[in-house]
Chains A and B, each alone.
Chain A
Amino acid sequence: DGGITQSPKYLFRKEGQNVTLSCEQNLNHDAMYWYRQDPGQGLRLIYYSQIVNDFQKGDIAEGYSVSREKKESFPLTVTSAQKNPTAFYLCASSIRTGRSGANVLTFGAGSRLTVL
């Protein structure tokens, strides 16, 4: 079955440590995204990538980094520079947009990061 796999589902880290969240998709989608979800704030866009080897900052990119070396993979690194990293992180993908604009996003099951 096609879908998006995020790992790990739960992750704990100490302050000052970097952590990388994995996101893999087998939907043959061109575009991939990382969102952060906090209580009462909905989903906020961290980074997105429309093609391999290219990505753009979203609304809250500070303290995060990404790479897009393969079409299937879009890992997110939460660095020690991120002030409030405890959150639920969702990865998503979509076909690349045309002139019609935004396309339907397919989401992974999420990774919950807790900083101790």
Chain B
Amino acid sequence: EDKVVQSPLSLVVHEGDTVTLNCSYEVTNFRSLLWYKQEKKAPTFLFMLTSSGIEKKSGRLSSILDKKELFSILNITATQTGDSAVYLCAGGGATNKLIFGTGTLLAVQP
């Protein structure tokens, strides 16, 4: 059975800290790993990773995929209160279906 596991389930940090969110996956015919940020309602897309070892970066956020270890991380540097959200990881196989993890709840305190 396909599954995506995220850790930690929740995290509390202070502004300026750097955080690393983890995502491991077991997806049949794996094609892509996606990260989303969900603040209150609609998840918003952050990254899609398909190639191992290539870092994707957007401002203070970056992500990398390790296809050998079936693992991805999402890094956030110099965290701000606006980074507080649930971060969702999802694995995609050969079909349109995405398998989501339970998410990591990040709280950034001033």
Contacts and interface: CB of A to CB of B under 8 A. Distances in A.
Contacts of A106: 45
A43 B42 contact: no
Interface residues of B, number: 28
B34 A97 contact: no
B92 A90 contact: no
Given A100-B50, A101-B29, A101-B94, A42 B100 contact: yes
**A: interface residue count bin:** 20 to 34
A101 B42 contact: no
B101 A50 contact: no
21 contacts: A4-B42, A35-B100, A42-B6, A43-B90, A43-B100, A44-B100, A45-B98, A48-B96, A50-B96, A90-B43, A100-B50, A102-B92, A102-B93, A102-B95, A102-B96, A102-B98, A104-B48, A106-B45, A107-B36, A107-B42, A108-B42
Interface of B: 4, 6, 9, 29, 31-32, 34, 36, 41-45, 48, 50, 88, 90, 92-98, 100-103
